[in-house]
A and B are shown apart, each in its own frame.
Chain A
């Protein structure tokens, strides 16, 4: 076998474009520098304990060298008791400090890792809603799972271990120099082979390991999908194809395994040869020097034993070096989130009323392609407006503009005279809320799932609102002063008809819900979303097919709850079923990015336009 070419297909190549920026090298460097500054003390401590541990480890070879000298030269004074005592002492110091090295290394790594992941989440939750809506959460999700995971290895192990390895190797070389400088020079004989081999290897290894890991992950992913889609796979007779797909994924993955195995097949002999060359050159060069009487046999023995010890730090450095390279890529993706401009809101922009007004609004997701054109609308307080129209006509986009998530490309959308897009998200949401199919139930207690909707000011002084104090994992606001909050939560649940099942939960508000907890039906999840609205109490709501994913029975039940929530508020509903439109005060028919019809139900039916035609066929 002469070699293995890297496989053509790279499973680690991104299949979907990164929707969020990746950090520039300068950003990454700045972040690393900051991280290091924050943990300088811990880092220096690690180097210090490591130094002691390595120095102590060299005592053995020194003492043995000394003994060899004395044994071979019988005239020298002889204190075996003292030597052994020193030996024991050095061993004790070494053991204690080795323990400290490992512990301090882990503590440093864990602290940096914790900083990193917390920093990332802090940045993520500060992203402007428009960015989230446009980029989706998929990219963020892969960053917080895959990239944090990869960095976990690097921070937890690679950084401390590399620090340890480098200090260790340098000290051993130093020890060699002190023992006998020519022996240290002999070590350098092995260097060219090692450097050439490592350069070859590390140029190829990081991307190959990334591809290998991605390939292995996609083997499991293909199977997980087959399992998840069991019914679909059987119905469409896709079993053979799924098996073939699994086999293909295995072929792709193992091709990379074979390639990385080849890379190591080159690296391993290089390392082995290096080690033996180091040992051999110390023995041979040292031997010649001893034979010439330039150094003592004890020195040579010490040198050979130290050279033998070099195996460990060199292995350590090589083992973790590529991990660090992989980590660089992940780090760039994580700190990339920092490059996004935070919400450039003007906190002083306060609306002076509840009037929603769109004035000749144009909007497009891409340059030069407008999804909405010349849209003008007026929604007086308390109005119920329905947006109807075919898929892709721009209903949802208009809804998001009215909810202040996107800013129009041209024209203005105002709330009580103030421009919606200039308000920070925190202000917008106290006035307007968007309710869509995405009724996410967070992992955690039912209480936490509701509390999030309460503005911090209303949480009360005894409850934590900034994450300072925490009583256990359970959550927040269980103190007696929070009784008011408790009652408010129940009232909100009652308002959406959810208090019945909520009271039946095993631990009431403290019941764990969300993935892994008590399973809630989609309708119950939607009720929680509605209860949040009751708590957040915005005066204007944009409903985007809020109940469309529910089965009709649940939808009917839920609409009753929804009606109570809507009472007294301005509502813009993206209508999915025509009965919703029928019940609205004003119907806006959106077609092809424009509002083609606007008026009440009866008015539009009489007008005989597209709405009337649709209504007739629906109503029969």
Chain B
């Protein structure tokens, strides 16, 4: 990451030294998009414009050529008419020659103005997109937790274009405005009496419709909003179409969509009313100016004070000048659109990470050794497969995040081989420990590119896919694609939406395995996988990771069975340690979480409820970690009481621990044939307690 992006230097934005060198489209993307002045929207716009002074100047020059050439056409017309009035063939030819010159100037000016203006648009848009991409990766994991995620995307999809529009329009407008001044002055000199009328009229024309524009844009916005809503409804209906076709309600949703669609139509027509009024005014006002010119001019011509050619020139000029006049409206709209966009963009670009990512450690060497979380007392011995059973999935998620270092919320750092991970640089910490969270995202692209992540190189893709039992995923991918022979080349759509939940999980697991980090932390990696496959995955992961440190958060016996060491964490503290078999025998709380079964005795149940609440109460001391775990335990025990109290006031109080036998006959999906005690859920109760606290 360029040092410039670090928060400490964010305000020392630097101008682009090459801002006067004309940027060419083929040189994009920028090797370095620079450090933006993101203190405010207008400052950001200014920064963007300043960075492309060269092309802006070019656009202005070509624009002047274009607009003056266009404005010279009426002069040619006037000359030609005057030539025939004067019956001079030579003058007619001269007018024709001048016309050819104007034509060349016009064609060159128009084309190159367009090229320069569009180049400004594209370079500005590319620069902002690059800045956004850098900002997004800089914020990283912090993004998903904030509103900012939506903002970044909104800026990228909508605001960039509006900013680009203004940047593009500004030089075109300047050229048009300069030309209008030039022509007004020219007409005054050429034919003072008529020119004065035009010079007074033109500014009026330029500003006449401006007061209507905000209203018109508001209506257009409303229409866009309604259209967005209708599109949302339509895509939502289509997304849930299988549900609709399976259960019913097609007519209900069609009716709803028709209403939304008709609302869009009405809003669009309302908006068109305003725009059509503007069009009418744009016809009316120049028309009135024309009439004034004609009225005044004809009198003058009759009196011999102007020639016929001059009259035609002035008339024709007014017709032509409505063209540069349009750019007054454009710039007004472009600015009113781009200002809020620029403000939002500046806001996004000035976000910073809440925690320092540079790391204070001097060495970037990746540490080795046992992974230790002082907060819970969890220890994952180096080179072993440790399974963590954690009653509360949210607590498990937090613990997993902490094990990787640099969590979103500051806390006591996890240590790897005694080195606090938070003190390493972000990159080093992530290199040492890979945490695969509950919802790993599959990035779109071919399967090959999905597995092409920074890695040790010791594990190849094939082995990882085999260990994660991805055989059927490959088959499904091969089936879905038409042309690709190699399933590795098949494209996976965004977030792997074309795959089932289980398939996605297995591919994500394969990706983590191929990385082959020193420590791999997996949070419920097989929760959506069927039992048959889960068992094979557990064996595959264990074999592939032999000699490396692996931590798996799970409650599946099939995985726990294969772990070297199983740790039960409850209330943010280690409650018991052992193998799956040992804990199953010695820890009722563990058994409750893992097998969903109990001894069936009400008394035992009660004990489990208590055991679950106060870790250690029923477990053998030999299998417990001591010193570091103790504070956590005390904490947990101390807060349990209020939890229960809070629980009693709630509607579902019938399920409260006070009712010692929380057995419901209707509990469990296929409960009928099972013994009633098979589905008692002391663990579930505890969750409800936590949930309601």
A585 touches B673 (CB 8 A): yes
> Which residues of A have CB within 8 Å of B281?
95
Within the complex, what minimum Cβ distance (angstroms) separates B558 from chain A?
6
* Other-chain contact of B287, A95, A127, A284, A405 (Cβ < 8 Å): A95
A505 contacts the other chain (CB 8 A): no
Taking residues whose C-beta sits less than 8 angstroms from the other chain, chain A's interface range is 35 or more
B669 touches A452 (CB 8 A): no
B557 touches A620 (CB 8 A): yes
Most chain B C-beta atoms within 10 Å of own C-beta, residue among A128, A455, A536, A552 = A552
* Other-chain contact of B247, A121, A309, A429 (Cβ < 8 Å): A429
Within 517-575 of A, Cβ neighbours of B (below 8 Å) are at: 529, 532-533, 536, 543, 545, 547-549, 551-553, 556-557, 559-560, 562-564, 566-567, 571, 573, 575
| A84-B294, A127-B245 known; A290-B153 Cβ under 8 A | no
A224 contacts the other chain (CB 8 A): yes
A236 contacts the other chain (CB 8 A): yes
* Other-chain contact of A71, B157, B283, B298 (Cβ < 8 Å): B298
| A226-B133, A235-B437, A273-B103 known; A465-B251 Cβ under 8 A | yes
Report the bound CA distance from A122 to B511 in whole Å.
42
Within the complex, what minimum Cβ distance (angstroms) separates A274 from chain B?
10
> Which residues of B have CB within 8 Å of A280?
96, 99-100, 103
Report the bound CA distance from A225 to B444 in whole Å.
8
A433 touches B312 (CB 8 A): no
Within 212-264 of B, Cβ neighbours of A (below 8 Å) are at: 227, 230-262, 264
Within 121-160 of A, Cβ neighbours of B (below 8 Å) are at: 121-122, 124-129, 132-133, 136-138, 140-141, 144-145, 148-149, 152, 156
> Which residues of A have CB within 8 Å of B298?
67, 71, 80, 83
Q: Can you name the residue of chain B whose Cβ is closest to the Cβ of A467? A: B255
A319 contacts the other chain (CB 8 A): no
**One of B338-346, B378-386, B427-435 at the interface:** B427-435
* Other-chain contact of A113, B265, B443, B475, B501 (Cβ < 8 Å): B265
**One of A168-176, A245-253, A484-492 at the interface:** A245-253
B76 touches A500 (CB 8 A): no
A617 touches B561 (CB 8 A): yes
B465 contacts the other chain (CB 8 A): no
For the complex, would chain A's binding face be called helix, strand, loop or mixed by DSSP majority?
helix
A620 touches B595 (CB 8 A): yes
A71 touches B301 (CB 8 A): yes
> Which residues of A have CB within 8 Å of B336?
none
> Which residues of B have CB within 8 Å of A442?
236-237, 240, 253
> Which residues of A have CB within 8 Å of B76?
279, 283
Within the complex, what minimum Cβ distance (angstroms) separates B7 from chain A?
16
* Other-chain contact of B115, A99, A132, A222, A261 (Cβ < 8 Å): A261
Within the complex, what minimum Cβ distance (angstroms) separates B99 from chain A?
5
A272 contacts the other chain (CB 8 A): yes
Within the complex, what minimum Cβ distance (angstroms) separates B5 from chain A?
10
Most chain A C-beta atoms within 10 Å of own C-beta, residue among B77, B227, B249 = B249
Report the bound CA distance from A464 to B252 in whole Å.
8
B265 touches A308 (CB 8 A): no
> Which residues of B have CB within 8 Å of A235?
141, 404, 430, 434-437, 440
For the complex, would chain B's binding face be called helix, strand, loop or mixed by DSSP majority?
helix
B555 touches A102 (CB 8 A): no
**One of B21-29, B201-209, B611-619, B628-636 at the interface:** B21-29
B126 touches A284 (CB 8 A): no
A608 contacts the other chain (CB 8 A): no
Within the complex, what minimum Cβ distance (angstroms) separates A278 from chain B?
11
Q: 20 A-B contacts, Cβ less than 8 Å apart?
A: A92-B284, A125-B244, A137-B239, A219-B129, A228-B149, A229-B443, A231-B441, A261-B115, A269-B110, A283-B99, A386-B670, A440-B243, A448-B253, A467-B254, A500-B651, A500-B652, A548-B501, A552-B393, A566-B670, A573-B670
| A/B pair count, beta carbons within 8 Å | 559
Report the bound CA distance from A271 to B25 in whole Å.
24
* Other-chain contact of B136, A138, A226, A437, A601 (Cβ < 8 Å): A226
Q: Can you name the residue of chain A whose Cβ is closest to the Cβ of B66? A: A272
**One of A103-111, A406-414, A415-423 at the interface:** A103-111
| A84-B291, A284-B96 known; A103-B272 Cβ under 8 A | yes
A125 touches B253 (CB 8 A): yes
> Which residues of B have CB within 8 Å of A124?
237-238, 241
A225 touches B494 (CB 8 A): yes
Most chain A C-beta atoms within 10 Å of own C-beta, residue among B122, B245, B299, B443 = B245
B649 contacts the other chain (CB 8 A): no
* Known interface pairs A102-B275, A443-B233, A601-B673; 20 further A-B residue pairs with C-beta atoms within 8 A, sorted by A's residue number: A84-B291, A84-B295, A99-B279, A118-B257, A126-B250, A138-B493, A144-B234, A223-B156, A231-B437, A234-B141, A255-B26, A268-B107, A276-B99, A283-B80, A305-B315, A305-B319, A442-B236, A454-B249, A618-B535, A618-B558
Q: Can you name the residue of chain B whose Cβ is closest to the Cβ of A112? A: B265
Contact with A along B590-601 (1 / 0, CB 8 A): 000001100000
Within the complex, what minimum Cβ distance (angstroms) separates A368 from chain B?
13
Within the complex, what minimum Cβ distance (angstroms) separates A218 from chain B?
10
**One of B49-57, B415-423, B524-532, B567-575 at the interface:** B524-532
Report the bound CA distance from A515 to B360 in whole Å.
42
B667 contacts the other chain (CB 8 A): yes
| A283-B99, A429-B247, A452-B247 known; A242-B137 Cβ under 8 A | yes
Q: Can you name the residue of chain B whose Cβ is closest to the Cβ of A390? A: B532
Contact with B along A596-620 (1 / 0, CB 8 A): 0000010000000000001001111
> Which residues of B have CB within 8 Å of A126?
250
B242 touches A133 (CB 8 A): yes
* Other-chain contact of B441, A67, A232, A273, A566 (Cβ < 8 Å): A232
Contact with A along B103-128 (1 / 0, CB 8 A): 10011101100110011001000100
B501 touches A551 (CB 8 A): no
A391 contacts the other chain (CB 8 A): yes
B457 contacts the other chain (CB 8 A): no
Q: Can you name the residue of chain A whose Cβ is closest to the Cβ of B428? A: A237
Contact with B along A382-412 (1 / 0, CB 8 A): 0010101111100000000001010000000
Within the complex, what minimum Cβ distance (angstroms) separates A117 from chain B?
6
A580 contacts the other chain (CB 8 A): yes
Report the bound CA distance from A302 to B601 in whole Å.
106
A593 contacts the other chain (CB 8 A): no
Report the bound CA distance from A362 to B684 in whole Å.
42
B156 touches A220 (CB 8 A): yes
A370 contacts the other chain (CB 8 A): no
B132 contacts the other chain (CB 8 A): yes
Report the bound CA distance from A235 to B107 in whole Å.
55
A327 contacts the other chain (CB 8 A): no
A227 contacts the other chain (CB 8 A): yes
Within the complex, what minimum Cβ distance (angstroms) separates A398 from chain B?
14
Report the bound CA distance from A140 to B319 in whole Å.
49
Contact with A along B662-682 (1 / 0, CB 8 A): 001011111111100010010
Report the bound CA distance from A365 to B110 in whole Å.
57
A230 touches B143 (CB 8 A): yes
| A391-B469, A617-B535 known; A137-B501 Cβ under 8 A | no
Most chain A C-beta atoms within 10 Å of own C-beta, residue among B84, B236, B250 = B84
> Which residues of A have CB within 8 Å of B110?
268-269, 272
Within the complex, what minimum Cβ distance (angstroms) separates B142 from chain A?
7
> Which residues of B have CB within 8 Å of A103?
269, 272-273, 276
Report the bound CA distance from A64 to B345 in whole Å.
53
Report the bound CA distance from A121 to B236 in whole Å.
11
Within the complex, what minimum Cβ distance (angstroms) separates B568 from chain A?
15
Report the bound CA distance from A437 to B237 in whole Å.
17
> Which residues of B have CB within 8 Å of A257?
25, 118, 122
What are the 3 A-B residue pairs with the smallest beta carbon separation, nearest first? A452-B249, A467-B255, A392-B472
> Which residues of B have CB within 8 Å of A101?
276
Report the bound CA distance from A223 to B137 in whole Å.
9
> Which residues of B have CB within 8 Å of A48?
none
* Other-chain contact of B670, A136, A140, A268, A583 (Cβ < 8 Å): A583
> Which residues of B have CB within 8 Å of A480?
none
